[in-house]
């Protein structure tokens, strides 16, 4: 404000009273952002995390694969909670790894997951083990629903039997690190663990729908809920570690406005029925090097979940491949449409 105007405003009225203060500017509406696959084992990604800018009114979803150690989680949550009003986290496969050099005593399987949950809770970060909450910012109200489902090898061609899925992937020299480092204790297999997790998530999502009739959900899961959203042309047979067909219709069944996932390292936006699907990975440094070369940083790669972009108009493509950019109305993304691959 001009100092002369300020002086005039502060001057006492003739009766000795001060005039009322000028009205405060309305706060900016709170927005909900997301990112995943930070992979903090890479020095370049750790340095990038430190560039995260404060958005004290906003919320942030961290959609798995922060890193492999407790220290990676603490570094991520320290920065994220300092910058955002509320943070949500769901586990990816990398958080569940039991590293050979683990300083945490080699915790495995479900116990490793709960160890991560407890670290998140120490920072006030909400997890799949916490109560769902209502987002009342821009684009709301919505129920924010973090879940954890794992995978069961059902994302595979119809001609490949379950018992031959690993062999089928290995024909193209594809073998996920999970097969060595992601243990399923105390369950007999990852499939059994996945089935248990799916049942728990269904129960919780169904309850959320009944308790919040008419309110849409934002479902958060590291693995995509639908097989038709998996497009990884460089390693197509990695698909067997990418989810479970049991979640195929959850966006309709559980009244989802948006479904947020990571894991694929292929950023894209899809519309299925009346639901928007967002893949929000950062990825390994070489996978977003082109963004850095264009002067962008992690803040440009946050994905706006709420309010988010408008749905395509009739006749427009329903898949938007996003090499970079937020894709908001204020900062248009670079979209590769009409079937072009990223």
Give tens-digit pLDDT for 229-248: 999 999 999 999 999 999 99
- pTM (two decimals): 0.88
Give the start-to-end residue ranges of the domains of the chain. Answer: 29-336
Between 70-83 and 109-122, two packed helices, what is the crossing angle to 10 degrees? 30
Lowest mean pLDDT among 74-88, 97-111, 238-252: 97-111
pLDDT at 24: 56
Higher pLDDT, 45 or 9: 45
Fold (topology level) of 29-336: Purple Acid Phosphatase; chain A, domain 2 (3.60.21)
Average pLDDT, the chain: 89
- Distance separating alpha carbons of residues 260 and 268, to the nearest angstrom: 11
For tokens 């061609």, the residue is 157
Instruction: Identify the pLDDT of residue 101.
Output: 75
User: What pLDDT score was predicted for residue 166?
Assistant: 98
Q: What is each CA distance from 251 to 120, 216, 257, in whole angstroms?
A: 26, 10, 8
d(CA 341, CA 144): 31
pLDDT at 96 over 50: yes
pLDDT for position 10: 46
Q: What percent of the chain has pLDDT over 90?
A: 80
């Amino acid at each position: 404000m001009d100092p002369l105007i300020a002086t005039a405003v502060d001057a006492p009225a003739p009766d000795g009273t001060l005039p009322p203060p000028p009205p405060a500017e309305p706060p900016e509406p709170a927005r909900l952002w997301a990112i995943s696959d930070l992979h903090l084992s890479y020095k370049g990604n750790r340095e990038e995390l430190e560039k995260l800018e404060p958005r004290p009114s906003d919320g942030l979803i961290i959609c798995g694969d922060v890193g492999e150690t407790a220290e990676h989680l603490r570094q991520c949550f320290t920065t994220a909670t300092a910058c955002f009003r509320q943070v949500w986290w769901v586990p990816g496969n990398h958080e569940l790894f039991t590293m050979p050099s683990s300083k945490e005593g080699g915790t495995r399987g479900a116990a490793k997951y709960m160890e991560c949950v407890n670290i998140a809770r120490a920072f006030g970060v909400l997890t799949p083990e916490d109560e769902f909450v209502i987002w009342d910012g821009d684009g709301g109200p919505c129920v924010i629903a973090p879940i954890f489902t794992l995978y069961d090898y059902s994302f595979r061609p119809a001609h490949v039997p379950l018992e031959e899925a690993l062999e089928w992937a290995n024909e193209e020299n594809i073998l996920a690190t999970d097969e060595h480092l992601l243990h399923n204790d105390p369950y007999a297999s990852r499939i059994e663990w996945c089935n248990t997790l799916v049942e728990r998530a269904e129960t919780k999502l169904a309850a959320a729908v009944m308790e919040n009739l008419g309110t849409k959900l934002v479902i958060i899961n590291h693995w995509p809920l639908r097989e038709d959203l998996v497009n990884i042309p460089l390693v197509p047979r990695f698909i067997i570690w990418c989810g479970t067909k049991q979640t195929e219709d959850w966006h309709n069944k559980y009244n989802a406005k948006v479904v947020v996932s990571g894991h694929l390292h292929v950023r894209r936006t899809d519309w299925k029925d009346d639901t928007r699907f967002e893949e929000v990975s950062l990825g390994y440094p070489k996978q977003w090097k082109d963004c850095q070369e264009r002067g962008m940083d992690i803040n440009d790669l946050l994905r706006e979940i709420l309010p988010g972009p408008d749905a395509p108009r009739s006749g427009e493509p329903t898949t938007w491949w996003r090499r970079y950019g937020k894709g908001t109305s204020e900062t248009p993304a670079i979209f590769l449409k009409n079937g072009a691959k990223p």
